[in-house]
Amino acid sequence: MGSRKPRKRATISDVALLAGVSISTVSRVINHEDPSQMRDVTRDRVLDAMAALDYTPVKAARDLRRRRTHVLALLVPDISNPFFSLLARGVEAAGFRVGYSTLICDSNNSKDEERQHMSALLRQNVDGVILVPVGRPDLAGLERMERSEVPVVTADRRIPGIPHVEADNAGGSRELAKRLVALGHRQVAYLGGPEDVSTAEDRLQGFLDGLAEGGVAPVAVRRGDFTYDSGVSLGTEILRDEHPDAVVAGNDLMAIGVLHAAAAAGRRVPEDLGVAGFDDIQWAALVRPRLTTVRVPFLEIGQCSARALVARIMSYDDAVEPTCLPVSLVIGDSTCAARAREDATGVSPGERFRKRGDRTSRGGSGA
């Protein structure tokens, strides 16, 4: 790779000169896509000149004038988590479609790094931020953003006073609970997520409601931290101490931990024990037995968040409606009806229900 031509980058006035028009005319063809009142010949001459000079507008100059960067930021606890990376895909795609670029910021599950990133974003002059806070949100940081007129939308988390986009966690959880009751479970244990995460609370509450509707009380409610490891360890404990006929976890990762804990304890799933999760992450499709879970539309949450944020940016002064996206029950092979459990036939009972689609990663071109 030799040296590059030091030929200086063409500016708008170079284009104007070459096209034999004024710079404002060039500016017009750059900005007004529409058949703006402008003679086609003029327009074409400009276009030709731009092409000839390989002209690219300097974004900083435009931003300076328009006082808008058309950049959005997505701040998540861990971009390598499947929920957040799907969310990111949704945000990026929806943003791109309306002319926004997406800055990605990973707070590495640390409130401190989250704070750092928020300051950085302020300095970056992003037009808006989609936030998934780490645990209990940093109100001070949010306050600063709002004060700087940088709109914020939270995704998959609720913060009073901030517009948000989330899934119907409570509703989905409630349906799941009712399903388990219908399957004949009476000794149900729940393994929830952290208390400072609204999502976890909603799921827990919804589950208890659903159970109550079926006239069932949980045999135990524990708190994990949404990790696989906590699923394994708390799952082991629950199985040892509570003698449940079903364990439902607040997310899939913990549910898979429970699955493995059950295997280690010699309990067959679903014959001896029903297991269910929440999220329907891609990974789940690779685990056997297939997990009964609730599909959360992360991609859509991302898209919706981006759209909501852009709406806020444009209206520039008031909040948009909070959004709650529907979820759907996914019946796998980790739960079955009481009849089947008694028979213990070994025939995969999940097959009797709506079969979960094959939702494995397209994975394509992966490393």
Select the residue interacting with DNA from 3, 37, 80, 365 (CB under 7 A): 37
Q: What separation in angstroms does the CA of 86 have from each of 16, 30, 90, 268, 280?
A: 44, 34, 6, 32, 12
Decide if residue 288 touches its own copies (CB under 8 A).
yes
Q: What is the rounded CA–CA span in Å between residue 91 and residue 300?
A: 9
Select the residue interacting with DNA from 3, 24, 80, 365 (CB under 7 A): 24
Select the residue interacting with its own copies from 44, 48, 112, 149 (CB under 8 A): 149
Select the residue interacting with DNA from 13, 315, 360, 361 (CB under 7 A): 13
Nearer to its own copies, 192 or 216 (CB): 192
Using CB under 8 A, which residues numbered 18 to 37 contact its own copies?
A: none
Using CB under 8 A, which residues numbered 231 to 250 contact its own copies?
A: none
Query: DSSP letter string over 196-249?
Result: T-HHHHHHHHHHHHHHHHTT---SEEEE--SSHHHHHHHHHHHHHHH--SEEEE
Decide if residue 17 touches DNA (CB under 7 A).
no
Decide if residue 57 touches DNA (CB under 7 A).
yes
Nearest residue to 225 (alpha-carbon basis) of 258, 193, 189, 257: 193
Select the residue interacting with its own copies from 17, 104, 212, 220 (CB under 8 A): 104
Select the residue interacting with DNA from 17, 38, 47, 79 (CB under 7 A): 38
Q: How many residues bind its own copies (CB under 8 A)?
A: 91
Decide if residue 101 touches DNA (CB under 7 A).
no
Decide if residue 27 touches DNA (CB under 7 A).
yes
Give the amino acid at 138.
D
From the CB of 92, what's the least distance to DNA, in Å? 23
Q: What is the rounded CA–CA span in Å between residue 24 and residue 84?
A: 43
In the DSSP assignment, the letter for residue 285 is: G
Select the residue interacting with its own copies from 69, 293, 323, 334 (CB under 8 A): 69
From the CB of 149, what's the least distance to DNA, in Å? 13
Decide if residue 21 touches DNA (CB under 7 A).
yes
318 burial class (0-12, 13-18, 19+ CB within 10 angstroms)?
Answer: exposed
Q: What is the rounded CA–CA span in Å between residue 50 and residue 318?
A: 39
Partner from its own copies, DNA, none contacting 135, C-beta within 5 to 8 A by type: its own copies
**Inter-residue contact 193 to 200 (CB < 8 Å):** yes
Write each residue from 117 to 136 as x if it is in contact with its own copies (CB under 8 A), else as -, in one continuous string.
x--x-xxxx--------xx-
**Inter-residue contact 138 to 118 (CB < 8 Å):** yes
Calculate the CA 155 to chain-centre distance.
7
Decide if residue 25 touches DNA (CB under 7 A).
yes
Tokens 């936030």: give the residue: 131
Decide if residue 4 touches its own copies (CB under 8 A).
yes
From the CB of 46, what's the least distance to DNA, in Å? 9
Q: What is the rounded CA–CA span in Å between residue 14 and residue 22?
A: 10
Phi, psi dihedrals of residue 109, rounded to the nearest 5°? 55, 25
Residues contributing to the site for DNA (CB under 7 A): 9, 11-13, 20-25, 27-28, 30-31, 37-39, 41-43, 55, 57-58, 61-62, 64-67
